[in-house]
Chain A
Amino acid sequence: MTHPHGIYQVVGRREYRGHKPGETFVARLDMNAAARAIKRGDIALLEHVNHSLDSGRLVLPKGWLE
């Protein structure tokens, strides 16, 4: 099963995965671990995100499509 990435905020008083209280971070967390951390009050899920490429920034290798 694919776990989606989420934007999380550290809402507890302890660091979470190296992120300080108040910081937001983007990660694909194990869903059970994330649920436990949310339940403990360590982090909050702000939103799910789907990262992807911006095709305008991509240049394929020379001759790759020939």
Chain B
Amino acid sequence: MRKSLFFVVPAFERFALTAICLRQLRRTCDELERNGVDASAVIVADDDNLDTAHELGFGTYERGNAATSMRFNDGIQAACDPRFNPRPADYVVPCGSDDWVDWRLFVDLPDAGTMVGFQRMAFVREDGVELTVRHLNNEGGCGIRIYPRQIMSALAYRPADEDRKRACDTSILVNLKLAGAIGRVEHRDIDPLQIVDWKSPGVQLNPYATITARHRAELTRDPFDILHGRYPDDALDDMAALYGRVAVAA
């Protein structure tokens, strides 16, 4: 039987960047569909990002720019709660509106008591000129994680404190652990570029400089060189145009 998975993506403004990342998420979901997982996303926003989401066939939940944790809770509940989704997703993955994820991370889905986290992640500097891969040496890894629906059911599908503007991923993990909902944490790593976080000027809760000061570096490169051939040319061309860069020719 095919399993199903929802990505949950709160979005606020940054329309061009979000559109590029949602189009890439559409490709990710399409690849998962071709590889045995029914995948889609719910975008939580109250601005033009909803139109982008609808154009791409994603679900939406309309919520103003309240605490980010409340919006993650909205998306998780929309994905998993059978009172609101008659076909609740088997798995839910919180994700940023500025992230790219490799579809291969989500093909092998865990048992109902296991959360999958990712400790290696690439970050692109706000000017689009530098990419660094970092090892996030904490139990949950980055905020992008695979949670089975059963784990989320322990907290009525709203696992985060409702008032958090930051550290939402930590709030989700801590509350689920306090509730005894997570039996095991598995770390998954397929390659250094499995997740790419695109920083943008002026609006980052965790700027590139903070990331590079806090976590151990594995490599540092030009993003459009190293991502060439690793992510679709169309996505890289769009991102290069946004940053005023030239993508590497195929």
Chain A residues within CB distance 8 Å of chain B: 1-3, 5, 25-28, 30, 50-53, 55, 57-65
Given contacts A28-B161, A30-B178, contact A58 B61 (CB under 8 A): yes
Q: Which residue of A lies closest to B39 (CB)?
A: A61
Shortest beta-carbon distance from A59 to chain B in Å: 5
Q: Of A28, A50, A63, A65, which one neighbours B86 at CB under 8 angstroms? A: A65
Q: A26-B163, A60-B85 are in contact. Are A53 and B61 (CB under 8 A)?
A: yes
Residues of B within 8 A of A (CB): 40-42, 54, 57-63, 70, 73-74, 77-78, 81, 84-87, 154-156, 158, 161-163, 175, 178-180
Docked complex Cα distance between A45 and B155 (Å): 20
Complex alpha-carbon distance, A53 and B44, angstroms: 12
- Pick the contact of B57 from A27, A53, A61 — CB < 8 Å? A61
User: What is the bound-complex CA distance between A59 and B60, given in angstroms?
Assistant: 5
Closest to A50 in B: B156
Contact A57 B61, beta carbon cutoff 8 Å: yes
Q: Which of A2, A25, A26, A55 contacts B155 (CB 8 A)?
A: A2
Which residues of the other chain, A, contact B161 by a CB distance below 8 angstroms? Answer: 5, 26-28
B62/A61 in contact, CB under 8 A: no
A residues in contact with B175, CB < 8 Å: 3, 28
Q: Which residue of chain A lies nearest to B89 when distances are taken between CB atoms in the complex?
A: A64
Q: Which residues of A contact B78 (CB under 8 A)?
A: 53, 58, 60
Contact A64 B40, CB 8 Å, known A59-B59, A59-B60: yes
User: From residue B94, how far is it (CB to closest CB) to chain A in Å?
Assistant: 16
Other A-B pairs, 4, CB within 8 Å; known A60-B42, A62-B57: A58-B61, A60-B78, A61-B40, A61-B57
Q: Which of B59, B63, B77 contacts A64 (CB 8 A)?
A: B59
A53 to B155, CA, bound (A): 14
Q: List 25 A-B contacts (CB under 8 A).
A: A1-B179, A2-B154, A2-B156, A5-B158, A5-B161, A25-B163, A26-B161, A26-B163, A27-B161, A27-B163, A28-B162, A28-B175, A50-B156, A51-B70, A51-B162, A53-B61, A57-B63, A58-B61, A58-B84, A59-B59, A61-B42, A61-B58, A64-B59, A64-B85, A65-B87
